[in-house]
């Protein structure tokens, strides 16, 4: 398990603490959800870069690689 220290504005820290968002379990869930959102955004960006008529083998391979990396992160149990 890794310890991470962050600095937050005082008001935000109080609100996050009151909402239970700073617990290790909740922080892990929030970070995992954000990683999934970013992976999806990356796929959308790749799709936008790809020509509308053609999906080149290189772009297809890049998309498959990103999907597999996302799946691997999702399958991998958190390090403890």
Average pLDDT over residues 53-57: 74
Nearest to 27 by CA among 43, 6, 46: 6
Mean pLDDT for all residues in the chain = 86
Asked if residues 40 and 67 have their Cβ atoms less than 8 Å apart, the reply is no
DSSP state of 21: T
Residue with the larger pLDDT of the pair 28 and 80? 28
How many Å apart are CA 57 and CA 6, to the nearest integer? 42
- For residue 80, name the pLDDT band (cuts at 50, 70, 90): low
pLDDT of residue 17: 96
pLDDT score of 72 more than 90: no
Q: What is the mean pLDDT of residues 6-24?
A: 96
DSSP, collapsed to helix, strand or coil, labels residue 67 as helix
**DSSP character for 6?**
-
Q: What is the pTM of this model?
A: 0.61
């Amino acid at each position: 398990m890794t310890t991470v220290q962050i600095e937050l504005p005082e008001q935000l820290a109080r609100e996050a603490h009151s909402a239970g968002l700073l617990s290790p379990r909740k922080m892990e869930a929030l970070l995992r959800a954000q990683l999934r959102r970013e992976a999806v955004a990356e796929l959308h960006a790749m799709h936008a870069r790809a020509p509308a008529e053609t999906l080149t083998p290189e772009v297809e391979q890049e998309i498959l690689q990103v999907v597999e990396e996302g799946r691997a992160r999702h399958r991998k149990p958190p390090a403890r």
